[in-house]
A and B are shown apart, each in its own frame.
Chain A
Amino acid sequence: SQTIHQWPATLVQPVGSPLSLECTVEGTSNPNLYWYRQAAGRGLQLLFYSVGIGQISSEVPQNLSASRPQDRQFILSSKKLLLSDSGFYLCAWTTGTGFTGELFFGEGSRLTVL
């Protein structure tokens, strides 16, 4: 069966520090991968999505970036965090072949920027 893991689960970072969140999917090949952010009490904001290795579509250019170095690995990064980057970050995947639009989410990473 397919599983998705993301880490770390929680982190507290000072403003201006770098960020790296990692997500891996197991049990499937060629998934579409997504990063979402959810601010406290708000809806989900699509940050990036990827349909293949090295293929990244950005919805929020700002100070975040994403990379997909391997088929089932998706990384969210920042060189300098802002206070507004605080939130709940969710990685998700869908089938790449036979796309159905059904998203499977990871456990989430809660980031607090101080």
Chain B
Amino acid sequence: LAKTTQPISMDSYEGQEVNITCSHNNIATNDYITWYQQFPSQGPRFIIQGYKTKVTNEVASLFIPADRKSSTLSLPRVSLSDTAVYYCLVVRMDSSYKLIFGSGTRLLVRP
């Protein structure tokens, strides 16, 4: 499975757009990129998943360049409640089922 690398932490202010980048240089053809959000003392929650180009849902957008060696989670107009840890995972859509989280990015949104 491709190893992921993310910034350890990021700071932002309410109302700003936040972009968190994840590198996954060894991503394979049948791997998907998935992002999770975790609040303290809770399990992570699925945010978004993509394979290439751009995916958007009501919470976030995910940008994946053509070489797929990195991905960027974009959170529009963050609020204080977006303060959390964000994890990027590479998920292999075959029979492996092994899901390994990286260290995550701790996002702090300030007033």
> Which residues on the A side are within 8 Å of B13 (C-beta)?
none
Q: Of B43, B87, B91, which is within 8 A of A101 by CB?
A: B91
> Which residues on the B side are within 8 Å of A106 (C-beta)?
43
- Complex CA distance for A111 and B44, rounded to whole angstroms: 18
* B98 A49 Cβ-Cβ under 8 A: yes
Query: What total of chain A residues lie within 8 Å of the partner, measured CB to CB?
Result: 27
Which residues 58-97 of B have a CB within 8 angstroms of A?
A: 85, 87, 89, 91, 93, 97
> Which residues on the B side are within 8 Å of A108 (C-beta)?
41-43
**Could you say which interface size class chain B belongs to?**
20 to 34
The stretch from A14-22, A70-78, A87-95 touching chain B is A87-95
Contacts between chains A and B (CB distance < 8 A), count: 59
> Which residues on the A side are within 8 Å of B104 (C-beta)?
43
Please judge, given known A-B contacts A99-B93, A102-B34, whether A34 and B41 are in contact too, CB under 8 Å: no
Q: Mark A39-51, 1 if CB is under 8 A from B, else 0.
A: 0001111100101
* B101 A100 Cβ-Cβ under 8 A: no
Please judge, given known A-B contacts A43-B103, A110-B41, whether A99 and B34 are in contact too, CB under 8 Å: no
Binding site for A on B (CB under 8 A): 32, 34, 36, 41-46, 49, 85, 87, 89, 91, 93, 97-104
Binding site for B on A (CB under 8 A): 32, 34, 36, 42-46, 49, 51, 57, 59, 88, 90, 92, 94, 99-108, 110
Closest 9 A-B residue pairs measured CB to CB? A105-B43, A101-B91, A44-B101, A43-B103, A102-B46, A90-B43, A32-B97, A43-B104, A46-B100
